[in-house]
């Protein structure tokens, strides 16, 4: 990328030089290209980071500095919509992850910490970074560890960051993306209100609205058959009391990103026209735009003055996504009416969803039962299933089929069925090194699972009694034996 850019720059400067030689009458005013790599830094500051829909304070005209960023990865349960839970993998505890605000020429010292309670290794690829993998290769970090790397922000613009750990699509689909803004020298023009919105598509085992804790569905993700398309990680993140707000006469700037992993967004605010759009988050400004296209892994800055009060609906104008899959938010504008600009019967909720996404669900029935010993086989399997859904399914998938080249199958696994003690040891201590399961080689890392003997017995009993395995009933005494043999 960098090479390409350099080639492009030198080709265009040759072209400009030729132009100047051959003709002296060119009206085009080029903004001078400032070489941000040459901007010297003065002093160190800690970055302010915000969860959506908020953004940190503008950089204004501060000089370039060393900017310290601490980002913590948290895998945590959240709510997709009423009655539907999902295990999100997050940068900083929110989806999208914390908003990062820098200026061109900053030297960013970035520390990525992977919380010890997490199950998986992760990393970060920031599209604002000029360097291998956008930082991914230097930031790969296991649970309970942290990594630091640094980079200089060269190009102003609004950039996506995301996890790039295999299977990449799955890490992104679980919420691992966010935005980093690189302001130009002197900062962006001042506006009255700024907000952070990011679209994402989600793939769940159950259909849209099916209650309970929903696992990620690899097959639907590959087929791009999304159950939820939402702003800021969940249905309703920007509606009702969560709506973003402004007053009549104010200028609103939205930093809009699209994490994907699959879908392109036709971003639109019903009843507004974007006065300005930084196309694809870059330096070209388009004016008077109705709908702007935001690629997966891309962003856009949109700006508009709000002239009349009311509720303005924010949508992906691929409209079934808005009314049936969740991609709907609200901007509530308060203030004096202006009959000249808009006179008519205003109604809040005129675009109320057609009952599609927000449904009343029976209450959560997956509450944890109190620990019970002397369980029957059926009770062990039931308890094991819950542990599996909390702990193992992220990698081995909810039907035990695993993910090709990354996570071996537990369904009809010859490796599993051949040796119970070995399987117990793997769950107790984790596993690295090459193994062959059903004729396919795997050479990856299974992290150590922090479970009690009872829980390991239950989860393995569930696995052995599912998906065509050999129906072993694993006793907690057997787990205890393997544990004390170490």
Contacts to ligand HEC by CB under 6 A? 119-120, 391-392, 394-396, 407-410, 413, 415-416, 423, 426-427, 431-433, 435, 437, 442-447, 449, 459-460, 463
Beta-carbon count within 10 A of 243 CB: 19
Q: Look at residues 378, 398, 388 and name the one whose alpha carbon lies nearest to residue 459.
A: 388
Q: Which is nearer to Cu ion, 163 or 463 (CB)?
A: 163
Q: Which is nearer to ligand HEC, 306 or 416 (CB)?
A: 416
Beta-carbon count within 10 A of 164 CB: 21
Q: Which stretch binds Cu ion (CB under 5 A): 57-65, 163-171, 271-279, 410-418?
A: 163-171
Q: Which does 415 bind (CB under 5 to 8 A by kind): Cu ion, ligand HEC, none?
A: ligand HEC
Which residues inside 109-128 make contact with Cu ion, applying CB under 5 A?
Answer: 122
Q: Which is nearer to ligand HEC, 346 or 422 (CB)?
A: 422
One residue of 39, 80, 124, 163 binding Cu ion per CB under 5 A: 163
Angle (nearest 5°) at CA 226 between 225 and 227: 120
Smallest separation, CB 159 to Cu ion (Å): 18
CA 48, 49, 54, 58 dihedral sign is positive
Smallest separation, CB 434 to ligand HEC (Å): 7
Q: Which does 432 bind (CB under 5 to 8 A by kind): Cu ion, ligand HEC, none?
A: ligand HEC
DSSP single-letter state for residue 279: G
What is the 3-state composition of the chain as percent helix, strand, coil, each rounded to the nearest 5?
25, 30, 45
Which residues inside 166-225 make contact with Cu ion, applying CB under 5 A?
Answer: 171, 176
Paired residues of 89 in beta bridges: 75
CA distance 196 to 253: 9
**Three-state SS for 476?**
helix
Q: Look at residues 183, 152, 157 and name the one whose alpha carbon lies nearest to residue 37.
A: 152
Q: Which does 163 bind (CB under 5 to 8 A by kind): Cu ion, ligand HEC, none?
A: Cu ion
CA distance 100 to 119: 25
Q: Which is nearer to Cu ion, 164 or 308 (CB)?
A: 164
Which residues are CB-contacts of 207 (< 8 A; sequence separation ≥ 6)? 227
Smallest separation, CB 288 to ligand HEC (Å): 49
Angle between helices 420-429 and 476-484 (to 10 degrees): 70
Smallest separation, CB 406 to ligand HEC (Å): 7
Q: Look at residues 92, 91, 93 and name the one whose alpha carbon lies nearest to residue 76.
A: 93
Q: Which is nearer to Cu ion, 129 or 176 (CB)?
A: 176
Q: Which is nearer to Cu ion, 170 or 299 (CB)?
A: 170
Q: Which is nearer to Cu ion, 165 or 232 (CB)?
A: 165
CA distance 11 to 133: 26
Smallest separation, CB 397 to ligand HEC (Å): 10
| H/E run at residue 322 | helix 319-324
Smallest separation, CB 89 to Cu ion (Å): 5
Q: Which is nearer to Cu ion, 65 or 122 (CB)?
A: 122
Smallest separation, CB 335 to Cu ion (Å): 43
Note the residues at the interface with Cu ion (CB under 5 A). 122, 163, 165, 171, 176
């Amino acid at each position: 990328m960098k090479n390409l850019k350099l080639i492009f720059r030198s080709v265009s400067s040759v072209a400009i030089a030729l132009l100047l030689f051959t003709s002296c009458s060119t009206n085009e005013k080029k903004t001078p290209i400032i070489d941000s790599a040459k901007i010297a830094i003065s002093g160190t500051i800690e970055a302010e980071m915000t969860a959506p829909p908020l953004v940190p304070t503008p950089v204004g005209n501060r000089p370039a500095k060393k900017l310290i960023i601490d980002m913590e990865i948290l895998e945590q349960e959240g709510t997709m919509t009423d009655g539907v839970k999902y295990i999100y993998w997050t940068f900083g505890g929110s989806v999208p992850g914390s908003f990062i605000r820098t200026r061109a020429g900053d030297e960013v010292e970035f520390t990525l910490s992977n919380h010890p309670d997490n199950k998986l290794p992760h990393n970060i690829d920031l599209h604002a970074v000029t360097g291998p993998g956008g930082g991914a290769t230097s930031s790969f970090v296991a649970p309970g560890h942290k990594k630091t790397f640094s980079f200089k922000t060269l190009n102003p613009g609004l950039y996506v960051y995301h996890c790039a750990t295999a299977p990449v699509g799955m890490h992104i689909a679980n919420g691992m993306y966010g935005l980093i803004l690189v302001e130009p020298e002197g900062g962006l023009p001042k506006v009255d209100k700024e907000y952070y919105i990011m679209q994402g598509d989600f793939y769940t085992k159950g259909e849209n609205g099916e209650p309970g804790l929903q696992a990620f569905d690899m097959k639907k993700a590959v087929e791009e058959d999304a159950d939820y398309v939402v702003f800021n990680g969940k249905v309703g993140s920007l509606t009702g009391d969560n709506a973003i707000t402004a007053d009549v006469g104010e200028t609103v700037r939205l930093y809009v990103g699209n994490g994907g992993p699959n879908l392109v967004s036709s971003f639109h605010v019903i009843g507004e026209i974007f006065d300005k759009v930084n196309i694809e988050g870059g330096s070209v400004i388009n004016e008077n735009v109705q709908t702007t296209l935001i690629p997966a892994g891309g962003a856009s800055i949109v700006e508009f003055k709000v002239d009349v009060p009311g509720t303005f609906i924010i949508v992906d104008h691929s409209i079934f996504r808005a009314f049936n899959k969740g991609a709907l938010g609200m901007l509530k504008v308060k203030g004096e009416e202006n009959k000249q600009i808009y006179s008519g019967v205003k109604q809040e909720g005129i675009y109320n969803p057609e009952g599609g996404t927000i449904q009343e669900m029976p209450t959560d029935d997956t509450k944890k039962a109190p620990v019970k010993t002397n369980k029957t086989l059926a009770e062990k399997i039931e308890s094991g299933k819950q542990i599996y859904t909390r702990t193992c399914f992220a990698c081995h998938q909810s039907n035990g089929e695993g993910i090709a080249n990354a996570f071996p199958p537990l369904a009809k696994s010859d490796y599993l069925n051949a040796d119970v003690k070995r399987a117990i040891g793997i769950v107790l201590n984790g596993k690295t090194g090459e193994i062959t399961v059903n004729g396919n080689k795997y050479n990856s890392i299974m992290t150590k699972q922090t479970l009690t003997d009872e829980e390991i017995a239950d989860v393995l009993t569930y696995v052995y009694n599912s998906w065509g395995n050999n129906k072993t009933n694993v006793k907690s005494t057997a787990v205890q034996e393997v544990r004390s043999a170490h």
